[in-house]
Amino acid sequence: MSDGVQIYAGTHEGLLVFRSSDGGWRETTRAFDGAIIDSIAGCQRHPERVYCGVTHDGLYRTEDAGLHWDKVLDGDIRAVAVDATDDSIYAGAEPVHLFRSEDRGDSWEEVESLLQMPEEIRQKWWSPVSGVGHVRHVFVHPDDPNTIYLALEHGGIVRSFDRGATWQDVTNGINYIDIHMVASLPGSFTHYYTSSARGFFTAQDPAEGWIRAENGFTRDYFHDFVFLPLHQGSTYPTMLIGTADKSPGSWNRPERARSAVFRSDDGAQTWHRVGEGLPEVITSMISTVVSHPLDKNAAFIGFGEVSRGHAHGPAGPGQILVTRDRGDSWHDLNLEMPADRVLWVAPE
């Protein structure tokens, strides 16, 4: 039975595209051989249109589901987002810059107001890897494209309520500002979550400060998280998150990342580890977690034998697994690939 989806796997050594076929998966396309892929996003109404950020190079676009790619923006692109109307594309770069296109990537303008923030804010935008920070994640609120949040690695969290005309730093409460992702509870304008290298946090209003939401975790490094739709009798959507033990600088130990998947069914008030079918000790980093666009109970995780925060060095093997029961159990897709860094899954 076909999954009816196509997986775009951004790896440490290029982009691979897989399509479900005869109960399994087949590779349909390879692109950007040897390049580091750090971001992928696609359009909801036009799933054949996908954007791929190639580190140290630029942003590329396909309009035929990955068969051909055209470069649409130069730069060291680290994040890309498409607003819910498919009308605007945002690309975040290293050093911290934000670009916007309103014509599917044909032309771009820089959101210059971001760099007009006070010096005391901008001086926090740095990285121990390259010396400068970058935009790690762009969140455009699906119910209001005027609301934009940026997760900066390192640098904290900034937001705009006027589509980038003005910005506000909303990092209060987070001491170590290596931020990986920020998103709202689906349907909410006041309930937010963010993951970082040293904590997972929630806020009713980020401007009033973040508080830790780590009850039940046995790991302290947090990366991508995803919401699965409400199921019968539930009050909150299911949350799944990829975690590791300590920061990547500690991963030279024999058990390396010590990754784990955790789930919350109560809006991050409590967490518990899930993962029948996963090893007790996972050495690879869980680089990304994404939902299945056609199955509300399914999600995918990508693994990589390379730190997601490191942009140099050879790749180890990669792996993609799927759950069809909201994280209780996971099954390997048995794909041959380099270390995965990011995933995008779209309907065929």
What is the residue-wise DSSP string for 90-101? EEEETTTEEEEE
CA angle 260, 262, 268 (to 5 degrees): 145
Q: CB neighbours of 92 closer than 8 A, spacing ≥ 6?
A: 39, 77, 78, 79, 80, 98, 99, 134, 135, 136, 137, 138, 150
The Cα–Cα gap between 278 and 308 comes to 20
Cα-to-chain-centroid distance, residue 311: 16
Count CA atoms closer than 13 A to 97's CA, side-chain side: 15
pLDDT for 1 equals 44
Domain 5-347 has CATH 3.60.15.10: no
The Cα–Cα gap between 224 and 197 comes to 11
pLDDT digits (tens, 9 = 90+) for 267-317: 999 999 999 989 888 999 999 999 999 999 999 999 987 755 444 567 788
pLDDT for 313 equals 60
The parts of the chain modelled with pLDDT lower than 50 are 1, 309-311
The Cα–Cα gap between 195 and 183 comes to 9
